[in-house]
Amino acid sequence: MASCFSINATALPQHHHGKVNYRSNKKCLGSVRNLVKTTGVASVVSAPQESLQKGNWVKLICGASFEDVVDIRNLSLVYTLAGVDCIDCAADASVVNAVNEGIEAAREIVYLRKPWVMISVNDDEDLHFRKAEFDPEECPLDCSRPCETICPASAISLHQHQSTTEFSHGTETLNLLKGGVINERCYGCGRCSPVCPYDKIRMALYTRDAAVTAELLKRKDVDAIEIHTSGRQTAPFEGLWDDLRNSTGYLKLVAVSLPYSGDSTISSMNTMYAMMEPHLPCLNLWQLDGRPMSGDIGRGATRESIAFAARLAAVEDKPHGFFQLAGGTNAHTVEGLKKKGLFQTTLVAENSKDNRSMPPSTASSHALIGGIAYGGYARKIVGRVLSSMQSQHGLARIEDYPEHLLEALANALDLVGTVKCYDPCT
């Protein structure tokens, strides 16, 4: 289905720098509402659990380690308007607040059903839970700074600084580099480390605190959790699940994210489900993680997640629950699933627990692949607009500059629409 979410940016009214034009804003917000209406978002978007059943579930991944609350709020606003079913974020109270604020701001513009809010945690060392670290003062002044250029999150900023130091023979002025990693923006992709010509950049791994996570799960504005695991050893998963299971009664969904690690992967998934099942009061989902944090790199990044889905489709002893792609997902993922015959194909549901949560008319079957989670690519296509807005107006709420909101929403609808099958051309 062709996408045609286009806007004429030159026809939109422009704000004077540092000054909000509220009359122009009202007109532009009308254009935003009209875009959502003509796209048919409200008529296509269903309750999140029904989207899983139909195979048109879409999740926005803000990033398990991405903690820039201004960007997260604006991303959540844009993708709520675009009709996502779930917004996945870091297990941090301020980040959860930012997500929910963005959702509510979107619903004040156009009243849509709320997407679920998911927090991500890890049971052991995991690529999604790390930050780049280095001491900028150790960097040579003549370094070409490839780390700044390659960072997809603009999380590295370096600048020269003069420092005066006293010696026995007098004072001396030294030129040093200052700045470094902007911690809240770094989401641990690791692209900076191998390009450093002086091997100065380290990747610091961390694990989310289970007790803090358990308290977050009790919040009324947190609907789901995702546990990242390697799948190679189930003992760390069992330990974390034991710490969290008393808080899962508040949830609508428990997701487990793991990569394909060979022939034992399906067996490990079934083992983990057996650990969860006695204390699982809600739906469960498996995130098939292909090539982590790579969707913004290019077309081929999505191949590994599709290959994982194809392997899963070929086995008979499938783990209980829904399945969702992630890791390298981008604008080419749906096309790749279609080529494999895996997009919105139907699987007979064997377990009544899922059926009790679904409408009677569809309880007998559900989609083989429940949907797709978009992270780096989703942030990239909207992030360009956010960067442009911030360069003109500083840190800002995107709804205060609706011409930017309209552009960002058009980009988001292009992506979400490939799964939701919006048809703006009709």
pLDDT at 328: 96
Mean pLDDT of 322-336: 97
For 410, the token pair is: 């058009």
Confidence at residue 373, expressed as pLDDT on a 0 to 100 scale: 98
The one-letter code for the residue type at 340 is: K
Q: Which two tokens stand for residue 3?
A: 């996408």
Residue 177 pLDDT: 80
Query: Percent of the chain, pLDDT > 70?
Result: 87
Rg over alpha carbons for the chain, rounded to the nearest Å, is: 23
Comparing 64-68, 84-88, 344-348, the range with the smallest average pLDDT is 344-348
- pLDDT, residue 162, reads 64
pLDDT band at 84 (very low <50, low <70, confident <90, very high): very high
Kindly report, residue by residue over 92-122, the tens digit of the pLDDT.
Answer: 999 999 999 999 999 999 999 999 999 999 9
Interval 34-57 mean pLDDT: 93
Which among 185, 178, 188 is positioned nearest to 132, based on CA atoms? 188
Residue 217 pLDDT exceeds 90: yes
- Separation between Cα atoms, residue 422 and residue 173, nearest integer Å: 61
- Given this model, what pLDDT does residue 423 score? 73
**Token digits of residue 114:** 């709320």
User: Residue 301 carries which DSSP code?
Assistant: G
pLDDT of amino acid 14? 40
Sign, CA dihedral 11-15-21-22, equals positive
First to last CA, the chain: 11
Give me the mean pLDDT over the 79-83 stretch. 98
Is there a contact between 256 and 272 (Cβ–Cβ < 8 Å)? Answer: yes
Model confidence band, residue 175 (pLDDT cutoffs 50, 70, 90): confident
For residue 178 the two structure tokens come to 């200052």
DSSP code, position 422 = -
The DSSP element (H or E) to which 325 belongs, if any, is: strand 322-326
Location of structure tokens 């909000």: 20
pLDDT at 273 over 50: yes
Least reliable range by pLDDT among 27-31, 199-203, 278-282? 27-31
Q: DSSP labels for 329-391? A: --TTHHHHHHHTT-TT-EEE---HHHHHTS-GGGTTEEESS-EEEE-HHHHHHHHHHHHHHHH
Q: What does the pLDDT look like over 281-298, one tens digit per residue?
A: 999 999 999 999 999 999
Q: Please, what is the average pLDDT of the chain?
A: 89
Residues 6+ apart with CB under 8 A from 267: none
For residues 10 and 240, give the distance between their C-alpha atoms in angstroms, rounded to a whole number. 52
Q: Per the structure block, which two tokens stand in for 233? A: 């050893």
Residue 13: what pLDDT? Answer: 37
